[in-house]
Structure 1
Amino acid sequence: MDQSRYKQVETHRGFTYSYYFSPPATGKPVLFFAHGFPLNSSLWRKQVAFFEPLGYGLLVPDLLGYGATDKPTDPKLYVGSGHAHDIADILDAEGLEQVIAIGHDWGSRAVSRLISHHPQRVSACALLAVGYGPPVLPNMDTVTRSPEITQTIGYDVFAYIRFFIQPDAAAIIEEHIDSFINLMFPDSPQLWKDYLCVEGGARAWIESNKTAGLPSYMTLEDKEFIKKSLLSGGLSGPLCWYKVIPDKANAEDDASISPTASDFNQPLLFIAFTKDNVALPVFGDSAHKKYAKGPVTRKEISGDHWAVESHTSEVNDILLQWVEGL
């Protein structure tokens, strides 16, 4: 991505955000792309390369904790309304009334909260791998509900979160960064089921410096870029996206969203990745059945969590066809 197109803005919360911006051609909408863990805005570089020549406007931030954006380490600052208000401030800085919001992984949560708190700013939304995130109820997060989820799914799908929220997680990951990258970007989807979804599995893999082959979509140069970007800012900020989950501040923040605002009417595209052993399509399907009141388009790609990288052409073609049909 062309570094000269990155800009910075200070939000009302006092955080400086870095974001890639390319203005739209006449008559074209702006696509807002929100990344997840552990990548920054570079996740969307292949979408930028595809949509920019077609005249679409592009707004691609490093979300809080990542890249050249500020990296506070207090989890309470990562509540959903905070992300939503920060994004709205970026839209204001560019004079954008509305965007088509596209999210992957934790980026889907950011898009979900933007819809909850500033629905007028989102004309339509596309969620990849991770579906719409409804407001959490007190004591009903993915950490405390693990036994219930395990019984339903058949394995401890969110076991890794219990490691990510530990006080020593950031230091351990930074010390064993190569092992962490190999685990987060597996050469086989089964690796996640064997280690991320087993109690203590993620910690054991990383602390033991286990490694595996790189996935087909990742070069050594790609891995070094990820490694450098993570170590330059540290993991304390990115892990706050997880640490806020069991924090009562999260439930209190979501409690400010009315039942009516929990539903959304914007057109939704959900791209399910059928080989993702953590962000299971059923999670998104269940949420959309309950909360999506507008038209829903559902597509599947036979890839794991990183099908954005491994199945780029499929992802781009689906997004383009959907956007053109709005």
Structure 2
Amino acid sequence: MDKTLYKQVKTQRGFTYSYYYSPPAAGQPTILLAHGFPSSSYLWRQQVAFFKPLGFGLVVPDFLGYGGTDKPTDPKLYIGSALAQDVMDILDAEGIARVIAVGFDRGSYMVARIVNHHPSRVAACAFLAVGYTAPDSAHKDAIAKPGLMPQLVGYDNFAYVRFFVQPDAAEIIEKNIDSFLNLAYPETSELWRETMCVDGGARAWVENNKRNPFPAYMKPELVEHERTALLTGGLTAPLCWYKVIFDDARAVDDAALPLEAHDVTQPLLFVACTRDPICVPVIWDTNHEKYAKGPVTRREIEGDHWVLESHAAEVSCILHEWVKGLD
């Protein structure tokens, strides 16, 4: 990522956001790329390298709590409407009317709330690994209901979240950062199934400073980049993206949306990761059947969660073919 193309803007809420921006060539659309946990805009470097020479505009923020962006530690500041407005402030600063919004992991939640609150600013939306998640005013969100997922996928695939929202989670992770990174980027998806998807498993792994080999795509320089970024900014703010799930402020915020705003009328792309034991595709397929009212394109990648690293070229090609078909 070219550091000279990073900019900053102060949002209406008073937060300073850092974001990468490359303007579009004449006639080309602008793509918004939304990262998830525990990443930053750097996650999209390979897609930026693919799309920039083709003339696509690119907006790639460090979202609240990450990278060069401010890092408040109150989960209430991470409600969907507020985060979506922050992104609108970035787009307005650059004079961008509409984007093709692409999300990965918790970035998919970001894209979903932009679609809900500002549908006129989204020409189309793509969801990688994690699909569209509708507003959840009654706290029926699958992550917040630990008994729900075993009925759908056969096991407690979101068990790790109950560690992430504990008061001491950030301290434990920062103390044993290498163990956490081993868990976050597992050599095989079986490790997630045995730890992240078992009640208490993620906490036990990190707290006991367990280690495991990294996958081939996690080169030493990438591991060091992730370690440095997380220790520099700390984990307290990034974990707010999970804590807000359980906060009443989120329910109130979601309840303010009319039911018709829950539907997605824009073209939707879902890229399913067939070996992801946490973000199991059937969860999002179910959501898309219910809420997607426009054309839906579904593609599969034979990989685990981190396809932006392990299958970067395939992801870029899938996105490119879909975007070309939107004309």
Provide structure 1 residue ranges, at least 5 long, that are not aligned to the other structure: none
Deviation at 1:214, TM superposition (A): 1.0
Deviation at 1:142, TM superposition (A): 3.2
CA deviation string 1:247-301 (max 9, x = no partner): 1111110001111010021001100000000011011111111111000000000
User: 1:72 matched to which residue of 2?
Assistant: 72
CA deviation string 1:222-266 (max 9, x = no partner): 000000000000000100000000111111100011110100210
Residue 113 of structure 1 pairs with residue 113 of structure 2: yes
Runs of 4+ aligned structure 1 residues displaced above 6 Å come to none
Deviation at 1:139, TM superposition (A): 3.3
CA deviation string 1:52-104 (max 9, x = no partner): 01110100000000000000000000001011000011000000000000000
Residue 16 of structure 1 pairs with residue 16 of structure 2: yes
Q: How many residues align?
A: 326
1:83-122 alignment, distance < 5 Å: 83-122=83-122
Distance across 2 between alignment mates of 1:254 and 1:83: 13
Distance across 1 between alignment mates of 2:127 and 2:152: 23
1:1-326 alignment, distance < 5 Å: 1-326=1-326
Other structure's SS at 2:323 match: helix
CA deviation string 1:297-325 (max 9, x = no partner): 00000001101110111111110000011
Deviation at 1:151, TM superposition (A): 2.7
Distance across 2 between alignment mates of 1:144 and 1:206: 22
Deviation at 1:210, TM superposition (A): 0.7
Letter aligned with residue 16 of structure 1? T
**Contact residue 30 and residue 59 of structure 2 kept, 8 A:** yes
Other structure's SS at 2:221 match: helix
TM-score (norm 1): 0.99
Other structure's SS at 1:124 match: strand
Deviation at 1:137, TM superposition (A): 3.2
Name the Cα RMSD after superposition. 0.8
Query: Mean alpha-carbon deviation: is it higher for 250-259 or for 134-143?
Result: 134-143
Letter aligned with residue 240 of structure 2? C
Distance across 1 between alignment mates of 2:138 and 2:151: 21
Other structure's SS at 2:138 match: coil
Distance across 2 between alignment mates of 1:91 and 1:220: 35
Distance across 2 between alignment mates of 1:73 and 1:164: 14
Distance across 1 between alignment mates of 2:212 and 2:76: 35
Letter aligned with residue 117 of structure 2? H
Letter aligned with residue 114 of structure 2? L
Deviation at 1:150, TM superposition (A): 1.5
Other structure's SS at 1:147 match: coil
**Contact residue 141 and residue 246 of structure 1 kept, 8 A:** no
Letter aligned with residue 236 of structure 1? T
TM-score (norm 2): 0.98
Distance across 1 between alignment mates of 2:13 and 2:213: 42
Deviation at 1:143, TM superposition (A): 4.6
Deviation at 1:176, TM superposition (A): 0.3
**Contact residue 143 and residue 246 of structure 1 kept, 8 A:** no
**Contact residue 152 and residue 283 of structure 2 kept, 8 A:** no
Deviation at 1:144, TM superposition (A): 4.3
CA deviation string 1:155-188 (max 9, x = no partner): 1111100000000000000000000000000000
Letter aligned with residue 25 of structure 2? A
**Contact residue 128 and residue 270 of structure 2 kept, 8 A:** yes
Other structure's SS at 2:257 match: coil
Distance across 2 between alignment mates of 1:182 and 1:148: 28
**Contact residue 273 and residue 300 of structure 2 kept, 8 A:** yes
Distance across 2 between alignment mates of 1:142 and 1:94: 36
Deviation at 1:141, TM superposition (A): 2.9
Letter aligned with residue 154 of structure 1? G
